[in-house]
Amino acid sequence: MAKILVADDDPGIRDVICYTLQREGFAHDIAADGEEALRKALSGAFDLVVLDIGMPERDGLDVCREIRKHSELPILFLSARDEEIDRILGLELGADDYVTKPFSPRELTARIKAILKRAAATPESDEEYTHGPLRLLVGARQVECHGKPVTLTAREFDLLHALMRRPTMVFTRAQLMVAVYGEGFHVSERTIDSHVRNVRAKLAEAGCDKVIETVHGVGFRLQAAERA
């Protein structure tokens, strides 16, 4: 039975979510502020956290940043704000999905199930890709540059994995969207651009610059190894 952490400072919303989760057979616990949410999320006791952005003590974005420093715990953001920039920022920070208030409890549980299903999918542990000094280990979900680890979010890892699996292919933003988020998940092209920008910056900082090439008017591809 998956256990869900529900972090929201509104007791009415917490009650609705917890009741829905209970009906769907999920175990759950609650957190009423950001500090409590972070402490419980890092305890290792949960399979997913539903994380409100506007919480006291620490807001959800800050909690997400801290979680991603230590864990790949799936995160579903919950927010009263529906601005595109908020969704992009949340996904850039490593959230797995974003639902705005007011929300349908049925949709929320469907999103939770989809995230848990993706998280449970285990890739072949022996898959490995190299590109010059860059190395990607699929099963361990690790990236190394010159033998040193590079920390990527789950979405950033999936994007780099897609590019390294097909090193000569030019991926459109729509194709990368499917590779990173799966079928039926819609985010703006700006979100994919942000993920690419973040991956480039992290690889460059580790000494693997010029890995991802922009093909203007089309999308992105892995740059030739001898030029990377």
Predicted confidence (pLDDT) at residue 128 exceeds the cutoff of 60: yes
Neighbouring residues of 48: CB distance < 8 A, sequence distance ≥ 6 = 2, 4, 5, 73, 74, 75, 76, 112, 115, 116, 119
Domain end point (choices 99, 120, 141): 120
Cα angle: 38, vertex 87, 60; to 5 degrees? 15
Q: What is the pLDDT of residues 162-187, one digit of tens each?
A: 999 898 899 999 888 888 877 766 66
Which CATH number covers residue 172? 1.10.10.10
Alpha carbon distance 136, 156 (integer Å): 12
pTM above 0.85, yes or no: no
Is the same domain home to 106 and 32?
yes
Alpha carbon distance 151, 141 (integer Å): 10
Is the same domain home to 156 and 133?
yes
Number of structural domains, the chain? Answer: 2
**3-class SS at 149?**
strand
Predicted confidence (pLDDT) at residue 114 exceeds the cutoff of 50: yes
Angstrom distances, CA of residue 73 to CA of 6, 48, 177, 190, 214: 13, 6, 21, 24, 31
Do residues 60 and 79 make contact, with C-beta atoms less than 8 angstroms apart?
yes
Task: State which residues form the domain around 189.
Answer: 128-227
Is the same domain home to 173 and 201?
yes
Which CATH number covers residue 13? 3.40.50.2300
Domain end point (choices 120, 154, 187): 120
